[in-house]
Structure 1
Amino acid sequence: MLKLQNYINGQLVPPAAGRYLDNIEPATGQVYSLLPDSNTQDVAAAVAAAEAALPAWRALPAEERGRLLVRISELIERELEPLAQAESKDNGKPVSLARTVDIPRAASNFAFFGTAAQHFASETHFQEGVALNYTVRHPLGVVGCISPWNLPLYLFTWKIAPALAVGCCVVAKPSEITPHTAFLLSELCIEAGLPAGVLNIVHGAGPGTGQAIIEHPAIKAISFTGGTKTGEHIARTAAPMFKKLSLELGGKNPNLIFADCDLTEAVNISIRSSFANQGQICLCGSRIFIERSIYEPFKAAFLERVAGLTVGDPLEAGSRQGALVSEAHLLKVLSYIELAHEEGGTLLAGGKRVHLEGRCANGFFLEPTVFEGLTPECRVNKEEIFGPVVTLTPFDTEEEAITWANGTDYGLAATIWTRDLNRAHRVAHALHSGIVWINTWLHRDLRTPFGGMKNSGVGREGGLEALRFFTEPQSITLKLG
């Protein structure tokens, strides 16, 4: 059985205590590898390696750091198929999704930030005849990056790449549920010639490994993506230590479908935004509000498309829906389906666990599920489910749709469907969402800020925002004459 290793000080090493955790393939429910159950000793070794590597790494010109990151990007592209297969096996998502989205985006993250650091300009303010003021940005030092299980390599590299690009050294923890591609990345970093200690990847569970990272006094910042409750815990621990925090947390995202939309396009993209990655993307739109005059046509077309979403072995080309990431998560999503019935919802599609034959007989599969008849104020419409469960609700006025869209504690993303340009901008500005897509979904430009409002997080990732987060500004004034 495959034993994953930690990547510390440029080497693949076993956990200090010699303990390992089971890694379960969601499609089969079977243990297929072991990952290190790391502790404070492993994290301390990683931090020491990062501290030792920091002076030389931060002194390296941005262009040279960038070349190494671009080299890692090229190796990820070269290993596209093995990485996609590993991501699918580890996470349960269709391999076609990993092949076309997850792994290419991981490569793009390294390529983008490998070049972006070279264009990271400082500011100068000239006071005529009096003084020259200029700002420089220094790398924070050793930083911690903790990523989730839903887009494992995609989001792991999204954090690591900008930190390395600006001259920080990193202690990173992938999710213990989906560790495989982070381990494979370790091997690619060694092949790329990344200096020892610049990036350290420590595997393990949150209470052991994650807690040791957020508590370590030498780690100057924490970049975390995951659940809101865990984000609250990290903030309570790290804030009194005056660490910088970037917390990308949960979402309960609305889709607003107006009557003047392109109905076919709205239905097609809403299927993607509802069920991509089995609904396990923080940006998925789980609350679909449809203007009443087109509610029935939209519902009929939507349900027809849902019926065509084949649930199957993630490794098979025809599978549109794979397995949920774990049995515990499957049971959580099923509990919300039961709650939807209790709250008076009408089940329109799905709602049951799927039992496949053959190698996937014990996998964690669930039908794409659609409810209507639930009030906007019910728990199912307010709490994050993070699975293939959506609700359809008709609305009568723009104001009503905006009120309902804003009626949760979350504010990550929203989608608006309309041909009316004035309405598109007006509604977008009224929504309490960090990201708003108009007539599209998950259209990403890596230069734009990424993050949410309210309980969806603190801070922004992406582009200059990420480079600023991992640096400390210093203002210098030179008196003239």
Structure 2
Amino acid sequence: MIQPFDGHAIAPETAAFLARPHRLLINGAWVDGAGEMETRDPATGLVLAQFHTGGAAEVDRAVKAARAAFEGPWGRMTVADRTAMLHKLARVMDAHATLLTELDIIDNGMPHFIAGLTTANCVEMVDYYAGAVMRIAGTTIAPPRHIAAETEALTYTLREPIGVAGQIVPWNVPLSTAILKLAPALAAGCTVVVKPSEETPLSALALGQIVLDAGLPAGVVNIINGVGAQAGQALAEHPGVDKISFTGSTATGRRIVQAALGNLKKVSLELGGKSPVVVMPDADLSLAIPGVAMATFFLQGQNCMAGTRIFAHAAIHDELVEGLAAFACSMTLGHGLDFATTQGPLISAAHTEKVMGYIERAKADGATLVAGGERLDRAGNFVKPTIFTGCDNAMPLMREEIFGPVMAVQRIETDDLDAIAALANDTPFGLSGSVWTRDLSTAHRMAKRIRSGHVSINCHGAVGTNIPFGGYGQSGWGREFGQEGLDAYLETKAVTARL
């Protein structure tokens, strides 16, 4: 029988997946872990499944399996065969797209239009990096002067895989974040140990079975569910891990760096954000109102590039706020399996309380509530899209990453781009941002002034498989997506031959 979720059914494949045991993937086999946890549908509170968890012992087994695969079948595979295997992985993922989409909906709470898009993007990303395998190339350069002065010589560089990569995945876009780490690592020739979030383990476990079905050798991909203080810590500390890639909070990122010091493993971090959205007086409000609203409310605001600090020029402030409030009030909150839903629940009851705490603090600080600010009186973790005006950069509402559907609007009176940029850049973060204007010169001058790794003009969060993404400041180290995402898993070796 297919289980209903808030009156909506799931596919038979998804129901069958939920009914199976959920164990750890180590060296090509599903094995028991040291403990168990449960995961719930955040829209209903319904328990979805029990899943096994691991700690230091299981991580150690997984790292050793990954090392053996790196030094064995995966490391010896030709680039043509590795390319073909990644393309096959993409085809198997595509064949199970409904399963992957529905698991992220019921485990994370995201609306269907987001889950379906991210699944399609994940298939595209595996194909993209499969095509990049044969483009990994070194260079020839002039040999050292002291050798070239005596004899002919040849100097060239090789690009080689780093080795075993530990990948710690967050709960907000679980499948997508797993793939944006996994695909370039495999393309580079690395093997991996993936630690999904304990809040959203299911799509990663389904991906593990898809990896096996696609025929990747045992040990190339290992999946260890567990809590961060156990499995995550053990992975970051493990001397057999050559690189850690982490997506999550800035506070946890600092702990990852400390844990990685033992063997000075390579570390890449995609961390928090508090992205500025600058709306100039000549902005096309028919574009800006829905665009700015979704900059904040996309994925319930539970995304690191959310544009939650809105700097609205006084000339359009009132009209913009009126439109944003109307948009927020028109959003349909509900279960992600309902195609009409435009905003789903927050991930957990504890996170919902945290978000509501920021809302109450903003009221106490004197910000003006113009939309939302309440929980829905129903099962699940639903908070209405919320907008505050009268904000300033001293408020926690403007300074701290809330990770919820809460927008802070600040009126700006000046036309001076340097002054506006100073407000936008008054943050320790620097992940994303956007500028809304019809003036080409203003758009590019403002984009240059915003200190963020990613800036969009007349849109927000314009990420793509081929576009590098990462942050300035406390938003992280390194880049993901695109060629830079592949480079993060490659070492450069220089070779000089005396001829």
Q: TM range, normalised to the smaller chain?
A: over 0.9
Aligned to 2:289: 267
Contact 1:117 1:467 in 2 (8 A): no
Unaligned 5+ segments in structure 2 are 1-18
CA distance in 2, matches of 1:447, 1:318: 30
Q: Is 1:435 matched up with 2:454?
A: yes
Shift of 1:31: 2.0
1:350, 1:279 → 2: CA distance? 14
- Of 383, 386, 399, which residue of structure 2 is paired with 1:369? 386
Shift of 1:327: 0.9
CA positional deviation for 1:401: 1.9
Aligned residues: 472
Which residues in structure 2 correspond to 1:401-412 (within 5 Å)?
401-412=420-431
Q: Which amino acid aligns with 2:303?
A: I
Using the TM superposition, name which of 107-116 and 121-130 deviates more.
121-130
Q: Which residue of 453, 476, 484 corresponds with 1:465?
A: 484
1:31-430 superposed matches below 5 A: 31-55=47-71, 56-99=73-116, 101-126=117-142, 130-356=152-378, 361=379, 363-397=380-414, 398-430=417-449
Cα distance in 2 for residues equivalent to 1:23 and 1:354: 22
Partner SS state of residue 278, structure 2: strand
In structure 1, C-alpha distance between the alignment counterparts of 2:314 and 2:189, rounded to whole Å: 53
Q: Distance in 2 between matches of 1:251 and 1:442?
A: 12
Distance 2:312 2:115 in 1: 31
Separation in 1, partners of 2:152, 2:285: 62
**Aligned position for 2:10:** none
Superposed displacement of residue 392, structure 1: 1.2
Moved more, 457-466 or 428-437: 457-466
d(CA) in 1 for partners of 2:288 and 2:133?
37
Distance, in Å, in 1 between the alignment partners of 2:162 and 2:364 is 50
Two-structure CA RMSD over aligned residues (Å): 1.4
Over 4 Å off, 4+ runs: 127-130
Instruction: Report the CA distance shift for 1:83/1:445 in structure 2 as closer, same or farther (over 3 A).
Output: closer
Length-normalised TM-score, structure 1:
0.95
| 8 Å contact kept, 2:172–2:302 | yes
CA distance in structure 2 between the partners assigned to 1:462 and 1:93 by the alignment: 22
* Partner deviation per Cα, 1:270-296 (whole Å, 9 max, x = no partner): 122111110111111001111110111
Structure 1 position 132, deviation (Å)? 2.7
Shift of 1:399: 2.8
Contact 1:120 1:464 (8 Å CA) reproduced: no
Q: Is the 8 A contact 1:62 1:166 kept in 2?
A: no
Shift in Å at residue 298 of structure 1? 1.0
Partner Cα separation in structure 2 for residue 135 and residue 189 of structure 1: 32
Percent identity, please.
39
The amino acid that maps onto 1:91 is N
Q: Which amino acid aligns with 1:118?
A: M
SS at match of 1:351: coil
Question: 2:110 touches 2:345 (CA, 8 Å); kept in 1?
Answer: yes
Q: Distance in 1 between matches of 2:336 and 2:164?
A: 38
Give, as a single letter, the amino acid of the residue that structure 2 aligns with 1:12. W
Counterpart amino acid of 2:397?
Answer: V
Task: Report the alpha carbon displacement of residue 472 of structure 1 after superposing the two structures with TM.
Answer: 1.4
| Native 8 Å contact 2:121 2:465 kept in 1 | no
Q: 1:377, CA displacement in angstroms? A: 2.0
What TM-score, normalized to structure 2? Answer: 0.92
Is the contact between residue 431 and residue 452 of structure 2 (CA under 8 Å) also seen in structure 1?
A: yes
